Amino acid sequence: MKTLFELISTYEMLLEFQGALKPIRIEIFRDAEIKSLFRARVWEQNTYNLYPTMENIRPDGGINNTLASCDEVNREITSFLAEDPTLVTGKEYSSESDFRKHLQSLVTVYHESLTA
The answer as to whether 62 is a domain residue is: no
Cα–Cα separations (whole angstroms), residue 95 to 29, 37, 43, 102, 105: 12, 9, 22, 11, 16
Tell me if 65 is assigned to some domain: no
Residue 103 belongs to a domain: yes
H/E stretch holding 101 reads helix 96-115
61 located within any domain: no
62-80 pLDDT, tens digit per residue, is: 777 666 666 778 889 998 8
Residue 48 forms beta bridges with which residues? 71
- pTM across the whole model: 0.77
109 lies in which domain range?
5-45+74-115
Count of domains for the chain: 1
Enter the DSSP assignment of 67. -
The verdict on residue 64 lying in a domain is: no
Q: State the average pLDDT for the chain.
A: 85
